[in-house]
Structure formats: structure tokens, C-alpha cells
Amino acid sequence: MISRTLSACLDGFSGKCVTLEASQQNSLPQIQITGLPNTVVQESRERIKSCLAHLGFQVPTRKLLVHLSPAETKKSGSQFDVAIAMALLTLEGFFPSKKIIKTAFLGELTLSGHFKAINHCIPLLEALLNSAEVEQILIPSENEGDASLFNSPRIYLCDSFQEALQFCFGESAPQKLRQPRESKATPLSPTYHFSLEDLRAQPVAKRALTIALAGRHPLLIEGPPGSGKTHLAHCAASLLPPLTPSETLEVSRIYSFLGESRGNNSFAPFRSPHHSISASAFLGGGHQQVLPGEVSLAHHGILFLDELPEYRRDALEGLREPLQSGEIHLHRISKSICLPAQFHLIAAMNPCRCGYAQSSQHTCICTSEAVTHYRKKISGPLLDRFSLYIWMTSSALNASERDSYDHTTAKTLVQRARDFLKDSCAVSLTPSVQRWLDLLQTKHQMSFRRQKNLIGVARTIAAFEEREAIIETDLEEAWSLRSPETFR
């Protein structure tokens, strides 16, 4: 006799459906697990025996072999506990095995039989929901936040193994997964407490930030210490519109790999890693299990790099691929893994080590060679990918000036431009704009990428006024916000 049930495991950056088969052998009572289980899966034997004994089941009475298929995929995690326990009980004849053939189980068991939450719940549920074999899925109630993202009638919540037994083999059923409630405003984290109203006399900087967020253009901010670079970047988080349900699922799926649950949090993520971060932590990596890095954790949100030249060179150069394609490929001996990385990049830097080069308020103590060496830490190919560049002076110089760019206005502009760009057609250039663009190309020898970025920024500016055609003033403003040729 063979007992069969279903579960799931991680396979790279996605889940994979796992079939559990259990059989009896004439040998000393023991439980053996095959199918490349790791230490956590192997230790489940003792957890399961204690749990079943606590509930009054004497298992095993002979040698029980549990095989996890496909055999060539490494199995890790505690989510197999419930499925293995179910397979063993049906194999020993306590319950009919046919009732769990098309039921999948995810959950860790305590020694007393209660369900504990599992990590990576979202990719595991995705794999099971996409499988035609699975008719129903039992998960711990503590994972309700992750499960509610799917809104599937096939998912059920359980608190204990005894409740799962009643559901599978009795008449009573556990609580059915509730429909996700309508999103409500939740208290903002300290990251979102920044407002553009607090940044006075910086209309160009606010305008550049609005353009960057509306068109998803990388923004580089340079200026002396205390000019408001960091404050401006932190304002970006609350200017972005809420994530769509599909974007929320994508972001929550990434965070589930780190054991973090975002639930129905629709706020765009804001990541600001310290400049001492390693390339693996920044881009993603790992040995046995590949984990997402900061570029993936900022997916559909903001990646803010403060003190840009202080970051490791290999970490910065790794930004080229995700900025171009919106994803990052990690290659290992056994397989290649593709991680999502569509983020808004905002970087800030001082002009030199002391921070006061080109400052009219303080004297710079750096030599010209030291200033050049500091700025050359940013490579030309990376600098070429920044569509927008602004120099911020101390707001104390123009503290009496006022600008009309308040936080609400900027947020409305970002939302309106993003909606317009989503539905707009191809870029349209008037003959005069095309002639001016050709003149710029001839005079400044712009690279293809820089020319493309220039048109993209001009198109975003036109979208603020809901215009399909780019006019000269759009291109002039886009040209004024480029990085200067004398940067390096």
C-alpha cells in the first residue's frame, strides 16, 4: 500500500509542487525520508512522532519510507511536517488515504500538534494553485496575510493538526479563507513622514523629483552637506501612488523569501542600504538558498543610495543590468535565477570628500586631484544611465523664496503623468524639435542612451500637460536637467 499527498518546496526563486509517497517495509520501526531532504526536513521525523504520540497515535509500528518527488530537487523548510504526518497516519490505517490524494498541506508542527507559520508561503501557494492536481490547500492561520493576496476558495486555514484531521476525515471544516478587506489607510512608518513643504526654496529639485517618479527616470542629486538631498529623496516614498493588487503580490512574494510578511500593505517599498553593504547583499545571492538583494527588495518602489561614491565598485556596477532590463540574473553552478528589480533609483552625493567643493558658503579643503579622484568613483557607463541630475545648494541662501510645489500638488502630477504615459502612444516629435535634437547631437556627440533618456524625460514633461507631442520647451527643460559634461 502506498499513501500519497501533496506539498511544495522552493526551487530557486519560485515554488514547485512536491508529491509525497509513503510505503511500509518489514523492518524495525523507524521513519526514513528520501528525495534530497535537508537537515530541517530530516528533523521533522522527531517532531512528527512527538506530535502524533501527544494526540494518541502510536507511529511508526514498522519501517515507514517517505519519498519527496521530484527526487532531483533539493527539499528544505519545515512546511512538509503536516503532509508527512498525514501520509504516515493514512499509511498506518488510521484514516483512508484516498481522501488526501488531492489535498496539499503546508505547515510546521509543534510537539503538541499546533500549526506554526512558515516562510516563503507566497511562492509555495503560487505553485500549488497553478497545479491541476491540487483541489484544496491547508495552511497555518498565521499565514492568512499572505494567503489573502490570492483570494482563492481552495485555501483553508487551520490552527492545529487535530483540526486538519477533522477537516480531511470528519464532518467539520476549518475556517475558510476570508475575502481580502478593502484597503484602508494604515499608519505610515517614519520613512513616510517627510514632506516637500519642509524643503523650502528648492523648486528645481522638487520638479526634478516629480519628473523622476512620473517617468521612472534615475535621479542623481549632488550638493554640499545639509542642502536637503536626503530629505528630498525620502519625500519620494509618499509621492508614489499605491501599488496595484498584482504589484502588491509581486512585492510581498519577494519579501516572503526573507521571512517578512507585508500582507495587503500597498505602500511602495523604500530601501536605503548603508554604503558598506556587500555586492551579494546589494544585488542578491547566497550559497544554498539564493536570497533577494536590495535591488529586488526595492521592486516597484524606491532605491535610495546616499553617499553614492562610497559604495563598493562591484555593487554599483551591478546596477547596470537592472536599470536597463528591470531584472537581475544570478548565475550559480547548478542553475541561473532571474530576480525582479524594477525600482526608482535616487542617488545622492557630495561633490568631494569634505563636501564643500563649489560651495559659496564654505571653503573646500580638498585638492583638485582629490576632487577629481572622488568623482571618478562613479563610472561613465553608470553615470550615463542617470536621466536626471540636479545640483542642490543650501536652502538657507534662498530661505525667503517661496515655490508653488507642495506635496499634494507633486503627488497629483505624478499620478496624472503615470496614467497618461500608460495609455499614450509612441513618442511624437515636431519638426522643430527634431532639428533641435539633431543640433544637440552634432554639437555634444551624445550617446544613444543619453539621447534616448533625453527624449524620455521630455515625454514625461509633456505628460504633465497631457500632450502626446513633445515641444521645444519640454526638450529644453529635459536638457537643463542632464548631468553636465564636466561632471568627471
Predicted local distance difference test score (pLDDT) of residue 138: 94
- Any bridge partners for residue 348, and if so which? 221, 306
Residue 77's φ and ψ, nearest 5 degrees, are 105, 165
Q: Residue 190 — pLDDT band, cuts 50, 70, 90?
A: very low
Residue 91 CA: distances (Å) to CA of 69, 108, 411: 17, 20, 60
Mean predicted lDDT score pLDDT of the chain: 88
The radius of gyration computed from the CA coordinates of the chain, to the nearest angstrom, equals: 28
Cα distance between residue 256 and residue 229, in whole Å: 32
**Residue 440 grid coordinates:** 544637440
pLDDT the model gives residue 285 = 84
> Residue 15's pLDDT band (boundaries 50, 70, 90)?
very high
- Cα(98)–Cα(294) distance, integer angstroms: 45
264 — pLDDT class (breaks 50, 70, 90): confident
Share of the chain above pLDDT 70, in %: 92
The reported pLDDT for the residue numbered 188 is 44
Concatenated DSSP letters of 357-387: TT-SSS---S-HHHHHHHHTTS-HHHHTT--
Q: Is the pLDDT of residue 126 over 50?
A: yes
pTM over 0.85: yes
What is the model's pLDDT at position 191? 47
Evaluate if residue 36 carries a pLDDT over 70: yes
Nearest to 264 by CA among 155, 158, 185: 185
Query: For 380-411, how does the pLDDT look when each residue is reduced to its tens digit (9 = 90+)?
Result: 899 999 999 999 987 554 555 556 678 888 99
Grid cell of 284 as nine digits:
542578491
pLDDT higher than 70, residue 214: yes
* Beta carbons within 8 Å of 386's beta carbon, 6+ residues apart: 218, 219, 220, 345, 347, 483
pLDDT tens figures, 305-344: 999 999 999 999 999 999 999 999 988 776 788 899 999 9
pLDDT (mean) for 461-484: 89
pLDDT, tens digit, for every residue of 244-256?
A: 989 999 999 999 9
pLDDT value, residue 404: 66
Q: How far apart are the first and last CA of the chain?
A: 74
Q: Which long-range contacts (CB under 8 A, 24 or more apart) does 30-34 make?
A: 30/60, 30/63, 30/64, 31/60, 31/64, 31/66, 31/88, 32/63, 32/64, 32/65, 32/66, 33/66, 33/67, 33/68, 33/84, 34/65, 34/66, 34/67, 34/68, 34/71
- Give the range with max mean pLDDT: 125-129, 328-332, 422-426: 125-129
What integer pLDDT is reported at residue 313 of this predicted model?
94
User: What does the pLDDT read at residue 194?
Assistant: 82
Q: pLDDT tens digit string along 167-188? A: 888 765 555 544 334 434 343 4
Question: Which pLDDT value is given to residue 459?
Answer: 93
| pLDDT category of residue 70 using cuts at 50, 70 and 90 | very high
